[in-house]
Amino acid sequence: MERTLVLLKPDAVARGLTGRLVQRFEDAGLKIVGVKMRHMDADFTRRHYFDLEERFGKDVYDATATYMQQGPVVALLLEGVEAVANVRRMIGPTFPAQAAPGTIRGDFAHMSKAYAETTGKAIANLVHASGSVDEAKYESELWFGDDEQFSYQTLAERYVF
């Protein structure tokens, strides 16, 4: 079993998609072992996206930080078999215009990379998900203390896994 972090970004929260997106993860057999809502201030945004500026440049970091700080996010700590890869597959590619129908981004987000670049805006793509097991460990520890992570058995675990 793995754990991974998913953030329902400000556009998902503002559009009232939180419940529908959580249901998709639970329907896929992923277990919520932590959940919280919060605003990301500048310091926390920098800690979460600690390497974004180095990898993609200041403009990308600034646009992302502005986007993530525009409203509350819902953080989910999910657990399941190969959770990192399964969640990444469920959400689809970073750029919604490239995401297949049936993925979260393919069904609910449609901003293209070209539009984002032309307007200087971050890609409104609804969700963040850890990209690797190591990243999931870092992000999980950043977002959730030991007292905010729960262990319990779901019916799916009992009967399916």
Phi-psi region of 120 (alpha: psi -120 to 50; beta: other; left: phi over 0): left
| Whole-number Å distance between alpha carbons of 133 and 95 | 22
| Whole-number Å distance between alpha carbons of 119 and 63 | 10
Burial class of residue 155, CB neighbours in 10 A (0-12, 13-18, 19+): exposed
Contact 30, 87 (CB under 8 A): yes
Asked about 39 being catalytic, the answer comes back as no
Contact 16, 108 (CB under 8 A): no
Give, for 5, the enclosing helix (H) or strand (E). Answer: strand 2-8
Tokens in use for 118? 């032309």
Catalytic pick among 39, 48, 110, 128:
128
Q: Kindly list the catalytic residues.
A: 128
